[in-house]
Amino acid sequence: MENYELNQNFEIVTRRLVLPRDLNGHGNLYGGSMLSWIDESSYLYAVEKIGYTNMVTVSLENVRFRSPAKMGDSVIILCRIYQIKKTSITIQTKAIVHDTKTNQTSEIIDCFITFVCLKNGKPFPYFKTEEFKNKYNKNDINDILIEH
């Protein structure tokens, strides 16, 4: 099996409160803060799922901010594994803003972030190792990973 797609629902990874330090000059959430939260949340989610920590971010795709967030809003970050290849894992990450005053929610971003496993500073085919395969029994793999 070369590539996999995970057939599972998103999981909430983090909730963030929008504070003054996260705002741009017009009172909206600064995009750089959002990207930093996404990078951190996606990394933590991937680490928890695959049991490997030496990874770097190689790409962030589909970055379009659809709705603003304001001070005091709650930002909910959800992740799922989208694809696992040889050295890389792609996480699909969504952020949703919850306006606590109106109780309305809207999606800020839905993007794909790819991490590459490293060993000695070079891409490492962790997902081909027995160590990775042993973390999941065959039924689990069949259950959660779809070949594509």
Ligand X SMILES: CC(C)(COP(=O)(O)OP(=O)(O)OC[C@H]1O[C@@H](n2cnc3c(N)ncnc32)[C@H](O)[C@@H]1OP(=O)(O)O)[C@@H](O)C(=O)NCCC(=O)NCCS
Q: Which of 16, 33, 15 is nearest to 24 (CA)?
A: 33
What is the Rg, in whole angstroms, of the alpha carbon atoms belonging to the chain? Answer: 17
Question: Which CB sits closer to ligand X, 41 or 114?
Answer: 114
Q: Let me know: does 133 contact 84? Beta carbons within 8 Å.
A: no
Q: Which of 54, 32, 28 is nearest to 43 (CA)?
A: 54
Q: Which of 41, 38, 44, 105 is nearest to 69 (CA)?
A: 105
User: Applying CB under 6 A, which of residues 82, 123, 132, 144 lies at the interface with ligand X?
Assistant: 123
Q: What are phi and psi of 4, to 5 degrees?
A: -135, 150
Question: Which CB sits closer to ligand X, 28 or 83?
Answer: 83
Q: Residue 147 carries which DSSP code? A: E
Of residues 64-103, those binding ligand X (CB under 6 A)? 85-88
Question: Which CB sits closer to ligand X, 89 or 97?
Answer: 89
Tokens representing 91 are 């996480």
Total length of the chain? 148
- Binding residues for ligand X, rule CB under 6 A, total 11
Question: Which CB sits closer to ligand X, 26 or 148?
Answer: 148
Question: Which CB sits closer to ligand X, 76 or 144?
Answer: 144
Q: What is the smallest separation between the CB atom of 110 and ligand X, expressed in angstroms? A: 17
User: Applying CB under 6 A, which of residues 116, 124, 126, 145 lies at the interface with ligand X?
Assistant: 116
Residue window 25-64: x/- pattern of binding to ligand X, with contact defined by CB under 6 A:
-------------------------------xxxx-----
Q: What is the smallest separation between the CB atom of 83 and ligand X, expressed in angstroms? A: 9
β-strand partners of 77: 14, 95
- Interface residue list for ligand X (CB under 6 A): 56-59, 85-88, 114, 116, 123
